[in-house]
Amino acid sequence: MADKNEKSNLDSTKLATNLVHGGRLRSEYCETSEGLFLTSGYCYPNAETAQARMAGDEPGFVYSRYANPTIKMLEDKLAMIEGAESCRCTSSGMAAISAALIAPCKQGDRIVAAKALFGSCTWILKNLMPKFGIEAEFVDGNDLEAWQTALSKPARLVLIESPSNPLLEGVDIRAIADLTRAAGAELVVDNVFATPLGQKPLELGADWVVYSATKHMDGQGRVLAGAILGKKEAMDEIFDSYLKHTGPAISPFNAWIILKGLETLELRVSRMNQTAAKLADFIADHPAVAAVRYPGRKDHPHYDIFQKQQSEGGSLIAISLKGGKESAFKLLNNLNIVTISNNLGDAKTLICHPTTTTHRTLSDEEKADVGLNDSWVRLSVGLEHPDDLIADFSKALNAAL
């Protein structure tokens, strides 16, 4: 079928068009919406074809742990959006990030990472990789001298997150990319908080971008999904066999959900970001609040870094309460529209208290290292009307005074 319905290659370089049409792979039925190929296997017309397809001598799907048409549409769409040569999707964000850390490394390799990371990334680097002789060193994401020192010794990978979880630290991606390259290592950027709309790590010199598509890409809190993006040749070489044989494949159903989520990504994320900017300003002025961290606010300690590399302030806000944990709990318990949950990037505005939930396993020293204490809450702003969210916060912050 060599007609305009068949293939993905659109002429557009425009994000809005690619979010809707990118990766299109229509079947013989010319369906409008992406087909959901809920199948584990594929059939062959004869034994010769089976042999040729399994050997890779002939194109075609052979097994959904390797590839699937619905998943391929998602991978191609994400690659277009990110401006990457290649993408592989996985069953969760952590499946993508763990693959990105494990697959390239061998015994004796070294990884340098920023201290402020998603909790499970820290666990992998501290507890899993050393069992296989791969050591990690952690540095303050903003201390360029510390990066220089850490990268004066050979390293295989560097891992950073910007803005980071939960305190929204900014890390200078271009500066770290330059140091990484000079050290002969490769830079992996967890871009979940910024989203592909807000920040383009590959353009800033990163080698790999990883996502939890569970967050803004789904955007409605339904399914888990992850993605790794980067250069095609390296992707094929490093990740093809790893993903095929270890099997963190995404369900075609979940891939289809993310495909539908991506159609509205720009609309949702830009609305969330606008509301977050308003809400951050309101919250920062409240007497119960000691500090607000929002990348779009000039009082953020890393505002200059965000101005260089991130187009909007994002949908996440960190808030420190003057009254510490007691006040933070009162805030959470007195909110009505805003829901207590550790997820983020959802249409619903969600709030959590990191030191008793997402970051409860950090030692006191580790918390101090990233500046985290009981006074902080993390807010993920959703799609409700900003006036309602402000009213909800006004009432709950008054109760937290």
Ligand X SMILES: *Cc1c(COP(=O)(O)O)cnc(C)c1O
- Positions touching ligand X (CB under 6 A) are 92-94, 97, 118, 161, 165, 190, 192-193, 212, 214-215, 224, 226, 344
Which is closer to ligand X, CB of 33 or CB of 127?
127
Torsion angle of C-alpha atoms 349, 228, 247, 117, degrees rounded to 10: -60
- Provide the sign of the torsion angle of the four alpha carbons 48, 59, 217, 165, taken in this order: positive
Distance CA 306, CA 298 (A): 10
Distance CA 400, CA 12 (A): 50
- 279 in Cβ contact with 393 (< 8 Å): yes
Distance CA 45, CA 220 (A): 40
Q: Which residues pair with 166 in a beta bridge?
A: none
Q: Which residues pair with 190 in a beta bridge?
A: 161, 210
Least Cβ distance, residue 323 to ligand X (angstroms): 27
Which is closer to ligand X, CB of 286 or CB of 302?
302
Least Cβ distance, residue 94 to ligand X (angstroms): 4
- For 270, the token pair is 């830009």
Q: Which residues pair with 158 in a beta bridge?
A: 112, 187
Which is closer to ligand X, CB of 23 or CB of 93?
93
3-state secondary structure of 288: coil
Least Cβ distance, residue 35 to ligand X (angstroms): 24
- Of all residues in the shown chain, the one whose CB is closest to ligand X is 93
Least Cβ distance, residue 345 to ligand X (angstroms): 8
Which is closer to ligand X, CB of 5 or CB of 342?
342
C-alpha dist (Å) from residue 335 to 53, 373, 379, 396: 56, 21, 12, 5
- Provide the sign of the torsion angle of the four alpha carbons 220, 351, 120, 231, taken in this order: positive
Least Cβ distance, residue 356 to ligand X (angstroms): 18
Which is closer to ligand X, CB of 334 or CB of 341?
341
Cα angle vertex 291, ends 288, 292, to 5°?
Answer: 110
Least Cβ distance, residue 85 to ligand X (angstroms): 23
- 91 in Cβ contact with 248 (< 8 Å): yes
Which is closer to ligand X, CB of 191 or CB of 327?
191
Which is closer to ligand X, CB of 92 or CB of 275?
92
Least Cβ distance, residue 224 to ligand X (angstroms): 5
Which is closer to ligand X, CB of 21 or CB of 260?
260
Which is closer to ligand X, CB of 199 or CB of 214?
214
Least Cβ distance, residue 343 to ligand X (angstroms): 8
Distance CA 364, CA 361 (A): 9
Is beta strand 226-230 parallel, antiparallel or unpaired with respect to 86-90? antiparallel
Least Cβ distance, residue 54 to ligand X (angstroms): 31
> Which DSSP string do the residues of 337-359 spell out, in sequence order?
SSEE-S--S-SS-EEE-GGGTTT
Cα angle vertex 22, ends 242, 94, to 5°?
Answer: 35
Least Cβ distance, residue 392 to ligand X (angstroms): 23
- 39 in Cβ contact with 188 (< 8 Å): no
Report the Cα–Cα distance between both ends of the chain, in Å, rounded: 66
Which is closer to ligand X, CB of 124 or CB of 335?
124
